[in-house]
């Protein structure tokens, strides 16, 4: 049993190192995938964004684009959100609209006309959600890489303790690894 426990520690250390390397690989892979998808969308921040005229391909530019979409949507809708707006357009053009069909503008097809500002709010919300999903994915990939690095370090530490314990049990191994116990002179 004295020899088995240190070997189990070495095995556990190797497993942590392998798991850590895999986590680092998957973290970088996920980050690359999200960045490539953002690049494929060919989004450029407008001039009035916090990061103007920049390709959206990382956390900072995605946040900047999401923030400016919110500003533009607020300007268009008078600060109202999708949930605060009625389904139908009113004759006075109020962005709040109405849910009452009798107060709605009637179109050529004799049906109430949809509130176009509600569609603006919905599209802005959907775009912002997509951008913030990319931000979250990029941040999570960074977290996974960090956890992977910690797992590699933990694996090296646990494996090292296992090797040191094994060297204490097997003197020939201790000599090979240069971890011989110092000889203490007694008088």
**Residue-by-residue pLDDT tens, the chain, 187 positions:** 677 888 899 999 999 999 999 999 999 999 999 999 999 999 999 999 999 999 999 999 999 999 999 999 999 999 999 999 999 999 998 999 999 998 999 999 999 999 999 999 999 999 999 999 999 999 999 999 999 999 999 999 999 999 888 887 777 766 676 666 565 666 6
Give the contacts of 168 (CB within 8 A, at least 6 positions apart): 174, 181
Inter-residue contact 99 to 74 (CB < 8 Å): no
Domain locations along the chain: 4-176
Give the contacts of 146 (CB within 8 A, at least 6 positions apart): 27
Inter-residue contact 181 to 43 (CB < 8 Å): no
Q: Round to the nearest angstrom and report the end-to-end CA distance of the chain.
A: 35
Report pLDDT for 184: 61
Inter-residue contact 97 to 117 (CB < 8 Å): yes
Report pLDDT for 185: 62
Report pLDDT for 164: 85
Give the whole-angstrom CA distance, residue 9 versus residue 23: 21
* 3-class state of residue 70 by DSSP: helix
pTM for the full model? 0.78
Report pLDDT for 71: 96
């Amino acid at each position: 049993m004295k020899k088995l426990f240190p070997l189990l520690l070495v095995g556990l250390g190797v497993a942590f190192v392998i798991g850590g390397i895999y986590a680092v690989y998957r973290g970088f892979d996920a980050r690359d995938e999200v960045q490539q998808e953002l690049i494929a969308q060919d989004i450029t921040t407008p001039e009035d964004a916090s990061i103007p005229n920049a390709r959206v391909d990382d956390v900072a530019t995605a946040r900047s684009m999401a923030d400016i979409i919110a500003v533009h949507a607020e300007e268009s809708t008078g600060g109202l959100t999708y949930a605060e707006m009625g389904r139908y357009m009113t004759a006075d053009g109020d962005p709040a609209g109405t849910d009452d069909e009798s107060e709605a503008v009637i179109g050529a097809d004799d049906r109430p006309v949809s509130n176009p500002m509600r569609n603006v709010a919905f599209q802005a919300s959907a775009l912002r959600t997509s951008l913030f999903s990319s931000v979250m994915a990029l941040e999570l990939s960074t977290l996974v890489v960090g956890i992977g690095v910690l797992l590699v370090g933990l694996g090296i530490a646990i494996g090292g303790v296992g090797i040191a314990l094994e060297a204490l049990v097997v003197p020939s191994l201790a000599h090979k690894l240069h971890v011989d116990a110092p000889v203490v002179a007694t008088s």
